[in-house]
């Protein structure tokens, strides 16, 4: 498998999908509610989906594809060695409000859920973040790396809240408050794919998130790792909880032990999964 060639193909597809999104951006939108009032799908999601999935099927007919809006397709999962995790529009709520914070996220992993290629494209800012295992991470072709901040007090962090915030006890409010008290600040952008890329580029020093999905994070995880960052679950383990998005902690590595220590303490009365 030539991962650099796969990466180049994914970059081309992401740019095409981003162009499709821009055709629908900054104008009135039609949207449908999926599972809750703040979980939407727009015409932009479907336009991007219509670009990404057919292009991946054509380029990689023996791969399995998992997309937020299109379900599973391609070679059956039990016969495939490689899996694509696609979010054709990460940040749908932002897009629906014409906020310029959304992206196309395309990640490829092996059958064990470990990322091999990641591409995230911000069409409004024309920022293409890209990485492949062993091939480094770039923004618009230029190398990027994580920050060198080594203490939590000087760190700019990022996180978010689940769609089911109002009905979940484990909704991240406790963790948000604790980290906000000890850090330089926390931001919530509403697109975790871009947030992970900002960790990779040194714009954020650390990020934690839960109750998301593999298609939200697979590409961004690869980009963070290849930029020199650390990705684990909340306990510091290299487990499926991180790669699935159920419990994801990403950082520059230097503040990772502190973040793990805080999360373990804050969550000692929470269920393991």
Quick: pLDDT tens for 192-207.
999 999 999 999 999 9
The pLDDT value recorded for residue 35 is 46
Which neighbouring-strand residues pair with 249? 208, 232
Fold of 3-143: Fructose-1,6-Bisphosphatase; Chain A, domain 1 (3.30.540)
Pairwise CA distance, residues 178 & 192, whole Å = 20
Question: In 103-229, which ranges are continuous DSSP H helix?
Answer: 173-182, 192-200, 214-226
22 HSE (CA, 13 A, CB side): 12
- Which residue's entry shows tokens 């963070």? 224
Mean pLDDT is highest, among 62-71, 163-172, 250-259, 263-272, for 250-259
Pairwise CA distance, residues 70 & 123, whole Å = 21
CB atoms within 10 A of CB 159: 22
Fold of 152-266: D-Maltodextrin-Binding Protein; domain 2 (3.40.190)
For the chain, the distance separating the N- and C-terminal CA atoms, rounded to the nearest angstrom, is 34
Of the pLDDT bands very low, low, confident and very high (cuts 50, 70, 90), residue 37 is very low
Please give the average per-residue pLDDT across 119-142, as a whole number: 98
Strands (E), the chain: 31-33, 40-42, 64-67, 71-74, 82-90, 103-110, 115-122, 127-132, 137-139, 142-143, 156-158, 185-187, 206-210, 230-232, 247-251
For β-strands 156-158 and 142-143, DSSP reports them as: unpaired
pLDDT tens digits, residue range 12-28? 999 999 999 999 998 87
Of the pLDDT bands very low, low, confident and very high (cuts 50, 70, 90), residue 165 is low
Over 90: is that where the pLDDT of 271 sits? no
The pLDDT value recorded for residue 72 is 83
Over 50: is that where the pLDDT of 216 sits? yes
Of 209 and 162, the structure prediction assigns the larger pLDDT to 209
Over 80: is that where the pLDDT of 244 sits? yes
- Across the chain, what does the average pLDDT equal? 93
Over 70: is that where the pLDDT of 29 sits? no
The pLDDT value recorded for residue 32 is 57
Of the pLDDT bands very low, low, confident and very high (cuts 50, 70, 90), residue 169 is confident
Sorted by where each begins, the domain ranges of the chain are 3-143, 152-266
pLDDT tens digits, residue range 51-110? 999 999 999 999 999 987 767 888 899 999 999 999 999 999 999 999 999 999 999 999
Pairwise CA distance, residues 144 & 179, whole Å = 26
Over 80: is that where the pLDDT of 47 sits? yes
Pairwise CA distance, residues 116 & 136, whole Å = 11
């Amino acid at each position: 498998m030539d991962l650099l060639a796969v990466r180049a193909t994914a970059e081309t597809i992401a740019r095409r999908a981003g162009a499709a999104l821009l055709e629908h951006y900054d104008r009135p939108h039609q949207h449908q509610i999926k599972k809750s009032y703040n979980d939407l799908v727009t015409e932009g999601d479907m336009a991007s989906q219509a670009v990404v999935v057919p292009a991946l099927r054509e380029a990689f007919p023996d791969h399995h594809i998992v997309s937020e809006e299109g379900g599973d397709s391609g070679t059956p999962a039990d016969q495939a060695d490689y899996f694509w995790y696609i979010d054709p529009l990460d940040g749908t709520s932002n897009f629906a409000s014409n906020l310029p914070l959304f992206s196309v996220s395309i990640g490829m992993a092996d059958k064990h859920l470990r990322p091999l290629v990641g591409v995230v494209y911000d069409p409004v800012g024309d920022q293409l973040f890209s990485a492949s295992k062993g091939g480094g991470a770039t923004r618009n072709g230029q190398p990027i790396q994580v920050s060198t901040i080594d203490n939590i007090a000087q760190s700019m962090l990022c996180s978010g809240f689940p769609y089911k915030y109002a009905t979940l006890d484990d909704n991240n409010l406790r963790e948000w408050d604790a980290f906000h008290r000890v850090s330089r600040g926390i931001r919530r952008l509403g697109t975790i794919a871009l947030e992970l890329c900002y960790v990779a580029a040194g714009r954020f020093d650390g990020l934690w998130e839960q109750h998301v999905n593999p298609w939200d994070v697979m590409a961004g995880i690869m980009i963070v790792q290849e930029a020199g960052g650390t990705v684990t679950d909340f306990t510091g383990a290299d487990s499926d909880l991180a790669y699935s998005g159920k419990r994801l902690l990403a950082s520059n590595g230097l503040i990772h032990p502190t973040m793990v220590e805080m999360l373990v303490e804050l969550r000692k009365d929470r269920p393991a999964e």
